[in-house]
Amino acid sequence: MKLIPIDKLRYDRELSIWDVLDVIGSIIRDRSVRVCIEVDESYVIKRGLEIYWALRRIGASKAPVGFSECYATLDDIGFYDNITGDTHRVYSSSLDFALRGLPTPLVKLRSYSDGKVNVWAKLEWYNPFSLSIKDRPAVNIVSSIASSRREGIIGDASSANFGIALTAVALQFNIKTRVYLPRRAEEFGLVVPSLMGADVIHTDAELTVDIISRVKSEAVELGFIHVDQFTNDLNFEAHLKTLAKEIDYQALKANLKLVGIAGSIGTSGHMSALNFYFKNRYGNEFKIILAQPARGEHIPGIRRSETGMIWLAMIARGYEIFDVTLGEAIDAVKRVASKDGLLIGPSGGATLVALEKYISKSSIEGDIVAIIPDTGYKYLRLLKEKL
């Protein structure tokens, strides 16, 4: 067996993440690869295409190549290479920063930890473009479009953060963007993409998902590429090969007893990926706690599960979901600010509320990660109104 840089291998057809999801699950469960990829003298894959695409989809840097049985650990295949960052933190471009500025920090919250349960905030505002978790799918989606040499304008519906991330990443490839926003989009979602040169359309729609049909029809009419963050599997894949692995890696390095992850749901891309990864990593007893707005409530960036979430319906299993009011979310923002000195966004506040509701009715002990999608500095007007 030899370990070959995965970019050196050649293939005759591409497999989707759905084609290799079971293989990815087995790699995560076994913490190893046990099947060789067979290649010819030109490194064209003759056998083991599923293993190759599973490794590609999960972001490994090397592949086990041979003609018999193989055994390669996660370290052998460079499983964590794409999320371990640059210790010097010097980057050749903003795109390089987005790709190699990982992992985002994991910070223990005094405001929610009590010794029995330790709550760790995953601070996603350390992503450089949108200061949010939305950089991850934007990088994966736009990079794929650029590598396929598809030309033209790209566009999508966004509540705010994804529109910024999409525009910023597209700039790195000299691609123009068209961003559609709902009526209640926060001001930063309007201003920032405009500053970056996007064509911003502020609609009268109540929810982001209400704009999707318009975007689809105008994509055909005006001739732009609809990237569709709500159904594009590259969204789910991005979180599987970066966010999930980061948390796994950080927990291992910090000797955490990881028993659960909490988060809010928007497209469901990141929480479905975390559900899949950690249910395979630790088994069905691993806890996934979700926050959604209570009926009639609006919390920026998140929505209710029944509004249609493809990955939550198809992949996630064994999760618990809690309704959260905006007032409860703002109270959590205030609690973290006053105890930890960190200003988290309302969706992060909702996550902590859902987590606390779960803890209050369970006997769980150990370390739990709370995904904080963005910073509260974006929502000062809203915070001022509610405080």
Q: Give which of 17, 228, 246 is closest to 126, Cα–Cα.
A: 246
Residue 85 domain-assigned (yes or no): no
pLDDT of residue 374: 98
Residues 264 and 344 in one domain: yes
- Average pLDDT across each block of 10 residues of the chain; the chain has 387 residues. List them in order: 97 96 98 96 96 98 92 98 95 97 98 97 98 98 91 95 98 97 96 98 96 97 97 98 98 98 98 98 97 97 94 93 98 98 98 98 97 98 92
pLDDT of residue 69: 81
Which of 201, 226, 251 is the last residue before a domain boundary?
A: 226
Residue 84 domain-assigned (yes or no): no
Contact 198, 179 (CB under 8 A): yes
Residues 162 and 119 in one domain: no
Residue 348 domain-assigned (yes or no): yes
Domain count, the chain: 3
Residues 181 and 255 in one domain: no
Residues 363 and 249 in one domain: yes
pLDDT of residue 149: 79
Residues 264 and 119 in one domain: yes
Residue 87 domain-assigned (yes or no): no
Residues 221 and 106 in one domain: no
Residues 68 and 183 in one domain: no
CATH label of the domain that carries residue 48:
3.90.1530.10
Please give the residue range of the domain that contains residue 98: 94-127+234-386
Residues 108 and 175 in one domain: no
pLDDT of residue 373: 98
d(CA 139, CA 137): 5
Which of 226, 255, 273 is the last residue before a domain boundary?
A: 226
CATH label of the domain that carries residue 147:
3.40.50.1100
Residues 214 and 282 in one domain: no
Which of 226, 254, 278 is the last residue before a domain boundary?
A: 226
Residues 366 and 261 in one domain: yes
Helix-helix angle 269-282:17-30, to 10 degrees: 40
Residues 140 and 159 in one domain: yes
The separation between CA 174 and the C-alpha centre of its own chain, rounded to angstroms, equals 24
d(CA 211, CA 90): 39
Contact 207, 184 (CB under 8 A): no
Strand, helix or coil at 292?
strand
Residues 151 and 64 in one domain: no
pLDDT of residue 290: 98
